[in-house]
Structure 1
Amino acid sequence: MASLSLMSWITKRRIKESYGLLVAAASGILLAVTMIAATLIHSNTMATAGLNYSLERNTSQAALNFHIVVPDRPLGPADYAHLDSRVTQALDEHIGWLIDTHHRAGQSPLFPSAPDVDSSEPSLPGADSYVFFREGFLDHARLTAGNAPSETVTEDADGNLHVQAIVGLEVASSSLNLIPGKEIYLAPMGLNSPSKITVEIVGVAEPRDPESSYWFGDLSKFKLGSEGSRLVVPLYIPRQALIDGIGKKYPMLLGYYQWFATLDLEDLEPRNLSDIERASQALESDLNQAFPRSLALSALENAISDYKRNLNLANVPLYLFTSLVTGVTIYFLVIVTRSLARSREREIGLLRSRGASRNQIATLLGLGEGLLVSIPAAILGPLAGWGLSGLLPVGGVPSETTTIPLTFTPFIVGSIASLICIGMFIASSFALTGRSTVALARTRDLTHQPRGRLRPALEFLVFCAVVLVWWQIQGRGGFLTQELLGDGLDVDLSLLLGPGLALLASGLLVSRILPILMRTIGRQLTLLKWSWIGHGLTRLSRTSPSWEGLTVLIMVSTALAVFGSTLYSSMSTSEADQTRYEIGGEVVVADWRSLGLPLSTADQKNLLNAIPEVATVTPVLRGSLGVEGESGAFDVSLAAVDPSSAQDSLWFRSDFSDTELATLFSHLQTLVRPREPMILPESANLLGLWVNPEEGIPFHNLWVAIRDTNGLMENIRLGEVHAAGWAYFEGEIPVRPYLTPPYSIQAIYISGPQFTSNAFKEGTIAIDDISVGVGEDKFLLEGFESPKGWEALPKVGTQNDIVSLDPSAAHSGDIGIRFSWSESIQGELRGIFIAPAPLPLPAVGSSVFNEGELIVGRIGGSPTPMVIRSIFNQFPTLYPDSGPVAIVNLAHFNSYRESLPSANTMKPDEFWLGLKSDADIPSAKLALEELTGGLASIRIREDEVRIAREDPLSGGALAGISWLALGTLMGIAFLGLIVYAWIGIKESRSEFGLLLALGLSKMQLRILVMIEHVLLAGVGLLLGSLLGSVLSNWVLQYLDVSSGGRSVTPPMEIVTNPTLAILAYGAVVGATFVITLVTFVYLTTIRVHESLRFEE
């Protein structure tokens, strides 16, 4: 009791003397506990909201339910009862608490159709059938004709069964004509057995709600199926009819059984996800042991795995940032406890003179003050954190949409933090009790400030730790590590200490350099006319423990404010950019199908352009170009777009290319003037030409490709090229209903044999004198040998074919065309054609290519040459990290393919729409849905960006914590400045009086104080801004990963929220102004004679 009474007396005395420092310490601890409690609660809220978002938005609800499949089990009642009991027991045992409802289903094997007794023909020609039951079927299906089947199964005198069944509407409407009243006959034991089952169709049904979770996304029981070349007819009968009727009669038949368990997802919580994963695995294992080949199908386990990876990824920046802010708070408490310890010198001397031991003194002084400042924080901090967490947004939506319980965890954490603070107070007191009376007296002299003897060793350990952790982070590529098995991510908590150690090392380095810098500048100013200013800087170097400590505090607070604003903004922007990159256009219409005649690309484009809100329409064609390079075969992801209209709808970031998008696309807009086509007379019926191979090329056929007015191609075979020398080849121009004359000549080519032994490796052929037959007359086409327009058909290989105009190739006249090849013509087309597009096709490609690089590959079976005109780093919807990508002009690509003799048609896969500036997006979406009739995928870029930002596990979840951390940091900085002002006023009173006595005016003193405070804030803000920028760039490069552990596309762009940064700077500047103003007021009250007697 005596000790408690003495501690109470000393604590009361300390409150009177150092109430300012105690209030600052209590406020700092309260801020720290509040921040930690709010982060813990917000993390739990984020996890719960993220789980709900993941299950609702990213996964099909029906796929999450459990679907149990047990094949090849007997149909007999006893076997079914045992099977049902065992499966139901397993469901109840492992996931019973999660199941909302469940029902059973079963079906027989396929039964062939048997003939009627009066006929030899099967009752269902070309079709087999199976009967099935499903509990609740008639509750979820609507009878469109007839009535429900009876549960009773009858047996005739021959032992044949008679059952009633219903069929799906599509089955009834088919050519099988299975309408109510019709009977079909099934052979359960095969067609060679006399046993039959008569099935009477009594009703027709369709699903009431096709989207109902009851159906588990499977409506096949309402439709005809197929097994090889035979149709399969599903027939619904009640369970009793199948099990107690057919199963009892034929217990040896093997059935196919299913259990459908619908889950109550509201019972899912982050804390029980591991239990669910184990239960799911145990359920399948249990069923497999009892019934081999059984399956427990559910997407829930994969959804949980994906969610856990996303949660781990989201927690890294959250815990990293919070730990850094907490570290700053601890540093502030170190400054305060150090200042409080210095103010206990008289009490320590008094207790030591009374014979108290070091432990007793430290406990009496530190425990009382520690309890005084810690208990309010331990109680109020968790409550404040709980209240604030309810105001923080969770992924773009207020957290009030999620229930936030108040648990004991924040109070436990608050208690631990309070114990740590009490330990700090006791330790600081214990450190002072080891000093002698003379040493305690010398600490009041600003020129004899003690330095920690262990500080050099501590600094060395910190710098070694920074190097070690940096090396670990660099070696592992970040704070996350890939699991050895699977594709998940693990967070290495030890690596999260890296940024904190870097801040600590920076603070230690600055605290070493600043006193030396101030002392050097002060000495230089003393030699000049501003000796009084030099005295002020020299004074700062003498009082460096408090001045440098506060400068470091402002520096790290500002650095973390910059880091926090950059972290939140960059991650949130990156999430949005990933969505924009994936979609590409402002509005994307893809997979557009039509119920009637297929629409052409031009028709689809015109229909889209007719929507009032649409400004531009860009068809996009995608394909894979197979290239055989020197290092092996590889695929190039190819996109063909309209470069003129794509710019108006495409999202493109400046770092995607070294040039602007318009400049990049300009390389695709090469103009070409193809030669005038060689038009044939409308009434032409024959086409011939003279050819001269240098040597015979048997097994090689000569062809001419013609084009009609609509661009459709037709190939005319002229014959096989046998012997060398000039020979005339001729073929009839076919009459086709789909071709519209007049025709024009598009290509002249040779087709080679399929086998290498018959293919000539190299050869030359001369072509001249194309003639046209009109009735009985023939005449030559002029202009065939014009010097421009004919190109060699592209090929895949190392040697290109050559087309040249040569006098020696003329059959008559002055000149002819010579076509030469140096690689065998094997199973492909080689020759000359009129190229309507620039060849090779101009393209822009990813950085794996070089400008001017020629690429020749196959797409759709046709050789396609491209030349890379420009390089980009990234391009929306294309992923260079997965392989080479390239973009070509859609008009060039289509023109080129349409000019090839045997190229198949390729239609665009999607359309990018650019909307008008005043477009109403909901109206545009409604118009698109009405136009496509629900037969197309419609994606609005900014709508999906908004949805992505609502994901609680995205970067947006850091918004609230960033604001809370900013408040904490600025509160700590403000308290630090107040503490500094408090200490400065108390310790500098006699020094100010001495300076006034020596002749300095109060205005000069005010200037000295202002310079001191401006240096304090300015140096802290400047160094903090630089440190925050460096820290942001260093840390964010390791957070630029997806939940699968791969780098995100596009790469994260460093973005700083100016509002947060400006508020941080403003708070420091404002606090500096306040303490400067307070010090000015204090200086007006100084009396020289009183100040000089203050220390006596």
Structure 2
Amino acid sequence: NAAAGSDTPMDVAVDTLGLELLGLDIGQTMEVFPAASFTDPPSMTVRIAAEFERIDPEDEFWFGVDSDFSLHNDRWTIIPLFTTEAALMDRVLGEYPTLYTDVTWYYYLDREALRAKDVGPLRQTILQAEANIRFNLKNSSYKIRLDNLLDNFDEQLLLARVPLFLVVFLMTGILLYYLALVAGLIVRSRSSEIAMLKSRGATTAQVGMLGLGEGLLLGIPAVIIGPFLAMGVVRVLGKLFFSLGGGADELAGVPVTVSQGAIVLGLIGGAMAVLVFTLATLAAARHGIVEARQTGARPPTASFLHRYYLDFLLLALIGLLWWQIQSRGSFLVQSVGSQELELDYSLLLGPVLGLMAVGLVIMRVFPWFALLLSRLAGPIAPSWLVHSLRHVARDPMVPGILIVLLTMSTAMGVIGSAFSATLERSQEERSLYAAGADLRVRHSGVSSAREGGKLAEEVQGLPGVLGAADVYRTTGQITTTGFSTSAFVLAMDASRIADVAWFRDDLAEGRSIDELAELLLDGPEPPEGLPLPADARGLSIWVQPAGLNQGANLWARMRDARGLYFDVWMGGLAGEGWHLVQTDLTPVVAAGRRFLNQARDVSVLPPFSLQALQITDRFRTSASSDLGAVYLGRIDALTPNGPVTLADFQDANDWSVIQDFARPGLYAVESSGSASGGQFPISTRYSWATGGVGMRGLRPGPTEGPVPAVVNEEFLELADASVGDDVILGLSTYSVMVHIAGVANYFPTIDPGEKPFVLMDLGIFEAASNQHSPIPLVGANEIWIDLTSTPGHPDPDALDGLGGKVDTGQILESMRGLGVSVREVFDADALVNERVDQPLVNAGWGALLVLLFLAVALATGSGVMLFSFLDTKERQTEYALLRTLGSSASQLRGIVWFNLFLIIVCGVAMGTWVGQLIGTSLLPLMEVAEEGARVTPPMALTTNWSSLAASYAVLALVTVVTVVWLAWLSSKIQVQQVLRMGDAG
């Protein structure tokens, strides 16, 4: 009723919660008026015309409008009234013309129709829409996150295209080589026919036209049939490899079409085949009947490139290009204008050039290898083997070319399967590296279960937990001459970390995490200090200040039976002469910038030990800043049975200063008899100069040794140090001396590209820090947990007591029950699933690479079979003569089969080795993550032998079929008929 008068109630609809809050029924009316912007506004009558409820609030239609529905909590009760646009414009704004209005448009994306090729235009559309809204619609705003999603997709697509295009370039190069080989074999088999045509008066151009016509006759039907055949192959094999057509939800419904680009590529392929065949025919037509007879009698042992040593020039050029590719460091480059990552297609030629270089080397070395084998085998080998080797040494060109083809094909298979498996493994390991363990929890370091944040023992007893290790993470400074550099500091429980952390041996130069832990544990034992009696209730000490300000204080650093460090305030140092300072053993903890013994109840467990004595200013915000000294007479433990002497300070050698490693020499401790009063004729004098950071005081026992540490190479470079050196590591308010025990380039949770890092044992680091830090160090702020289920690989046997997968939520709740304040959680299983469960990461690239390699393997197999057939037909006269000279049928089969086995064995063996070599060389170029950053941890080359075995099986099948076929062909040779035919056969 938008057009009705003001005396007619306006119809509105409310949701179910709103109707319940109003307490009205459908059809009832109520009065409404603006809540602000008006003084004594008139009311408007509205009628509840309808009630509605959202069936699925998570549906896309309701995206972003959750706040537009009824709300009821302790502070607010909001009931929106829904009506038509006409009613708002005519009735509401007619009654309240100055009412503030807010108009919002929602645009929905047709996600089903969106394809990868539409991402670029859609991004431009979004940018244009944002600009139009910003400049043409006043007082407007917009909210969109689709552009970020599309940018991320574009980035992921670019990274996913690198291995795909790399393999496609390899396959294209190999297939072109295959075309040239097949054309050469066919033309070679018809060299006698071409020579006869030339002798009968045919010109080279006429012979070339014959080759062109034959090529077109074969190529045109192939180009026409090819796209339709490709669609059929994808439909059939797609169901097997990619589950197209309903097997997988992600790919179900994806149309199988032939794009215009695919048709163009097919035309180019057909044209290339015709061109190669024509050029091979023209090359053969250059020779007449005499040259053809000479070539048949004495075949060349080297190609044109090798005869004039042009292969060395090509190898030098390929080496230069390879060096340039390696120096770039990646197949991706940043454009000058937009600074966006782009794929440099020219760099993708690097692997193709690498295979070409290998082929040139094989063609150079193989004739020498065959000649050497024939000479070595002559005196000792059977006649059929000697004959076969001499034939290969006499005519090594075609077998060498086939070995190169097999080497290329096998190498491509190894590279392709390795890249597929390596990329999938890298995605999983990046998540495991970021998590560090199955479950990593950052916490505040405070717990009601265990002071100091050390929770490993308590957490290890929770259901579903196999092991736990405490870790302390902070930032330090590498102290160098003139400046300092920030570094990550990770102190871990080295006795437990190997059982819980994910690690890979190549991250630490071949060392395992157990070996790293042994290096970290090979350090000084925590200082024992001065042990107090078990019933000690306090401490007392005789002191005589010398030149101290009135605000100086004396503190005692203590350690309880569990290893918890805490401070007690002994008292002020304001008096003159010898006087007794005593206190109970109440811990003092920090509360902001104040230090109070009531700030938090700290549970300590006797017996205690005295670790150090510290002198500070009035507020303990820093050490006493002036020159000063203090004489120490005797320190006693106060017990119910009276004082017990802990130290008499007669010999200063029993004590050592707490050294500031950054500024050594500021403190001194010595035996002295110059104290006034005569109460202690011999005492210990502790003195200090201005400057220095960290704890200012002295400790019982000798000076502590450095903390063993494992660092990365960048740390060594910045500190100008090497393994075995001692380096000063600065922390927030103090510094410690670390001994470099080993090197690790990576460690879980640490990105060495951001900062250098240093690893230490938590117990040794905590003991050393509490000898230098003005404030007792919190023991740990992280806990790494090993669960009974493996991230990314659910184990049906690794189940919790409920018969299901370990619930990390229950573990976290149990930790909170221990008083832990959880700050951040890293669940390795969730991180792995989030990274791996992406279409561009795990969209069947492995299956696609298998298909590509199978195509190349089939092409290679057909080339081998063609060579074997033509070679057998060409050598029929030779085989017939061998039979007449007494060779048996088995010897003849050995001669027939030898070339085949030599080509297969050499090609597959060389290809596997070359593939591993090139794959390892290219791996650093593939280690590019989002935004062009390096992958952490680096990729580890992994070969998927199961997928590669399928291609090897194809080659094995081709070999078996060819062997049987050649045996049949050799058995069909009629000696008399062949000898009568002579060369005509």
Per the TM superposition, whether the score is higher than 0.5 is: yes
Task: Provide Cα deviations, 1:142-173, integer angstroms capped at 9, x if missing partner.
Answer: 677456996732799x94348899xxxxxxxx
Task: Provide Cα deviations, 1:901-938, integer angstroms capped at 9, x if missing partner.
Answer: 63474752344234389531685756442454598666
Q: Is the 8 A contact 1:705 1:746 kept in 2?
A: yes
User: Is 1:1058 the equivalent of 2:910?
Assistant: no
Aligned residue among 1035, 1040, 1050 for 2:922: 1035
CA distance in 1, matches of 2:754, 2:517: 23
CA distance in 2, matches of 1:208, 1:906: 52
Per-residue deviation, 1:665: 1.3
Aligned residue among 321, 331, 334 for 2:177: 331
Per-residue deviation, 1:521: 4.3
Counterpart in the other structure of 2:697: 831
Instruction: Output aligned runs, 1:838-857, within 5 Å.
Output: 840-847=706-713, 848-849=715-716, 850-854=722-726, 856=728
SS of structure 1 residue aligned to 2:142: strand
CA distance in 2, matches of 1:243, 1:705: 78
Q: Is the 8 A contact 1:698 1:722 kept in 2?
A: no
Alpha carbons of structure 1 residues 581 and 932: separation in structure 2 relative to 1, 3 Å: closer
CA RMSD in angstroms, aligned pairs only: 5.0
Alpha carbons of structure 1 residues 234 and 635: separation in structure 2 relative to 1, 3 Å: farther
Question: What amino acid maps onto 1:971 in structure 2?
Answer: L
Task: Provide Cα deviations, 1:999-1024, integer angstroms capped at 9, x if missing partner.
Answer: 54444433433443332223223322
CA distance in 1, matches of 2:939, 2:35: 74
CA distance in 2, matches of 1:698, 1:220: 67
SS of structure 2 residue aligned to 1:335: helix
CA distance in 1, matches of 2:460, 2:400: 67
Counterpart in the other structure of 2:162: 316
Task: Provide Cα deviations, 1:853-908, integer angstroms capped at 9, x if missing partner.
Answer: 54555656555554443332211111222112223333445566677663474752
Task: Provide Cα deviations, 1:1043-1070, integer angstroms capped at 9, x if missing partner.
Answer: 3222211111122233345555554455
What is the aligned-residue identity percentage? Answer: 22
User: Is 1:962 the equivalent of 2:849?
Assistant: yes
Alpha carbons of structure 1 residues 879 and 778: separation in structure 2 relative to 1, 3 Å: same
Counterpart in the other structure of 1:304: 150
Aligned residue among 753, 756, 759 for 1:881: 753
Instruction: Output aligned runs, 1:2-151, within 5 Å.
Output: 139=15, 145-146=21-22
Aligned residue among 762, 766, 775 for 1:902: 775
TM, length-normalised to structure 1: 0.71
Counterpart in the other structure of 1:196: none
CA distance in 2, matches of 1:1090, 1:487: 74
User: Is 1:819 the equivalent of 2:673?
Assistant: no
Q: Is the 8 A contact 2:445 2:452 kept in 1?
A: no
Question: What amino acid maps onto 1:474 in structure 2?
Answer: Q
Q: Is the 8 A contact 1:381 1:414 kept in 2?
A: no
Task: Provide Cα deviations, 1:549-582, integer angstroms capped at 9, x if missing partner.
Answer: 2122122222222222322222222222212111
Q: Is the 8 A contact 1:482 1:488 kept in 2?
A: yes
Counterpart in the other structure of 1:718: 571
Per-residue deviation, 1:138: 6.2
Question: What amino acid maps onto 1:285 in structure 2?
Answer: A
SS of structure 2 residue aligned to 1:1093: helix
Aligned residue among 758, 777, 783 for 2:647: 783
Counterpart in the other structure of 1:653: 504
Alpha carbons of structure 1 residues 525 and 912: separation in structure 2 relative to 1, 3 Å: closer
User: Is 1:890 the equivalent of 2:762?
Assistant: yes
Alpha carbons of structure 1 residues 753 and 413: separation in structure 2 relative to 1, 3 Å: same
User: Is 1:426 the equivalent of 2:278?
Assistant: yes
Q: Is the 8 A contact 1:581 1:877 kept in 2?
A: yes
SS of structure 1 residue aligned to 2:647: coil
Question: What amino acid maps onto 1:878 in structure 2?
Answer: I
Counterpart in the other structure of 1:672: 526
Aligned residues: 907
CA distance in 1, matches of 2:629, 2:744: 41
Counterpart in the other structure of 2:125: 279
Alpha carbons of structure 1 residues 301 and 385: separation in structure 2 relative to 1, 3 Å: same
Alpha carbons of structure 1 residues 160 and 244: separation in structure 2 relative to 1, 3 Å: farther
Alpha carbons of structure 1 residues 479 and 665: separation in structure 2 relative to 1, 3 Å: same
Counterpart in the other structure of 2:400: 548
Counterpart in the other structure of 1:367: 216
CA distance in 2, matches of 1:862, 1:962: 56
Counterpart in the other structure of 1:383: 232
Alpha carbons of structure 1 residues 304 and 855: separation in structure 2 relative to 1, 3 Å: farther
CA distance in 2, matches of 1:773, 1:538: 101
Instruction: Output aligned runs, 1:202-601, within 5 Å.
Output: 216=64, 263=109, 265-290=111-136, 295-345=141-191, 348=194, 353=200, 358=206, 360-371=209-220, 375-393=224-242, 400-401=251-252, 403-409=254-260, 410-440=262-292, 442=294, 444-445=296-297, 447=299, 459=311, 462-463=314-315, 465-484=317-336, 488-522=340-374, 533-590=385-442
Per-residue deviation, 1:496: 0.8
SS of structure 1 residue aligned to 2:753: helix
User: Is 1:1044 the equivalent of 2:931?
Assistant: yes
SS of structure 2 residue aligned to 1:716: strand
Counterpart in the other structure of 1:1014: 901
SS of structure 2 residue aligned to 1:882: coil
| Farther-moved stretch of structure 1 (619-628 vs 253-262) | 253-262
Q: Is the 8 A contact 1:674 1:789 kept in 2?
A: no
Unaligned regions of 5+ residues in structure 1, if any? 1-135, 166-205, 226-230
Q: Is the 8 A contact 1:616 1:915 kept in 2?
A: no
CA distance in 2, matches of 1:554, 1:303: 43
Q: Is the 8 A contact 2:659 2:667 kept in 1?
A: no
Alpha carbons of structure 1 residues 140 and 210: separation in structure 2 relative to 1, 3 Å: farther
SS of structure 2 residue aligned to 1:403: coil
Question: What amino acid maps onto 1:548 in structure 2?
Answer: G
Q: Is the 8 A contact 1:390 1:400 kept in 2?
A: no
CA distance in 2, matches of 1:627, 1:453: 57
Question: What amino acid maps onto 2:424 in structure 1?
Answer: S
Alpha carbons of structure 1 residues 836 and 947: separation in structure 2 relative to 1, 3 Å: farther
Counterpart in the other structure of 2:8: none
Q: Is the 8 A contact 1:551 1:1020 kept in 2?
A: yes
Aligned residue among 33, 45, 57 for 1:153: 33
Counterpart in the other structure of 1:869: 741
Q: Is the 8 A contact 1:590 1:910 kept in 2?
A: yes
Q: Is the 8 A contact 1:692 1:766 kept in 2?
A: yes
User: Is 1:766 the equivalent of 2:631?
Assistant: yes
Q: Is the 8 A contact 1:379 1:411 kept in 2?
A: no
Alpha carbons of structure 1 residues 258 and 553: separation in structure 2 relative to 1, 3 Å: same
Per-residue deviation, 1:376: 4.4
Q: Is the 8 A contact 1:374 1:421 kept in 2?
A: no
| Farther-moved stretch of structure 1 (633-642 vs 430-439) | 430-439
SS of structure 2 residue aligned to 1:1037: helix
Question: What amino acid maps onto 1:766 in structure 2?
Answer: Y
Q: Is the 8 A contact 2:234 2:256 kept in 1?
A: no
TM, length-normalised to structure 2: 0.78
Alpha carbons of structure 1 residues 580 and 757: separation in structure 2 relative to 1, 3 Å: closer
User: Is 1:1024 the equivalent of 2:911?
Assistant: yes
CA distance in 2, matches of 1:415, 1:492: 25
CA distance in 1, matches of 2:699, 2:148: 54
Unaligned regions of 5+ residues in structure 2, if any? 1-11, 46-52, 587-596, 717-721, 790-794, 817-821
Q: Is the 8 A contact 1:620 1:908 kept in 2?
A: yes
CA distance in 2, matches of 1:457, 1:238: 89
CA distance in 2, matches of 1:498, 1:443: 36
